[in-house]
Amino acid sequence: MLFTQCHETAYNFANEICKNYLKGCPLYVKHVAIGDPAQEILKLIEKEKVDMVIIASHGRKGHFHFGSVAEKVVKNSPVPVVTIPIGPEK
């Protein structure tokens, strides 16, 4: 039951993000998965034949100041990855 509620909550959150921020972009893939985020993104790239990944990054790890998920995706993606820095409002 908890898994179903978490999945539904995540899916609803993804719907809100897409509705609010991707209005003019008809070509995106919305996917909710359980597991290691970087590995799930990399699997989805192959499965959906994705051309490019855009990922938010807020971490300070690694050489390029990406979060660990963004860094793993950038290093292992077979397609271009654009990172969007996010952080506390100044």
In a domain, 85, yes or no: yes
∠18-19-22 over CA atoms, to 5°? 55
What is the per-residue pLDDT across 37-54, written as a single tens digit (0 to 9) for each?
999 999 999 999 999 998
**Domain limits at 70?**
50-90
User: What's the mean pLDDT when you consider all of the chain?
Assistant: 83
In eight-state DSSP terms, residue 62 is T
- Tell me what pLDDT residue 90 has: 43
Q: Looking at 34-43, 55-64, 74-83, which range is the least confident one? A: 55-64
HSE-up of 44 (CA within 13 Å, CB side)? 17
Q: Domain tally for the chain? A: 1
In a domain, 21, yes or no: no
In a domain, 37, yes or no: no
Distance (Å, rounded) from C-alpha 25 to C-alpha 43?
Answer: 22
In a domain, 70, yes or no: yes
In a domain, 10, yes or no: no
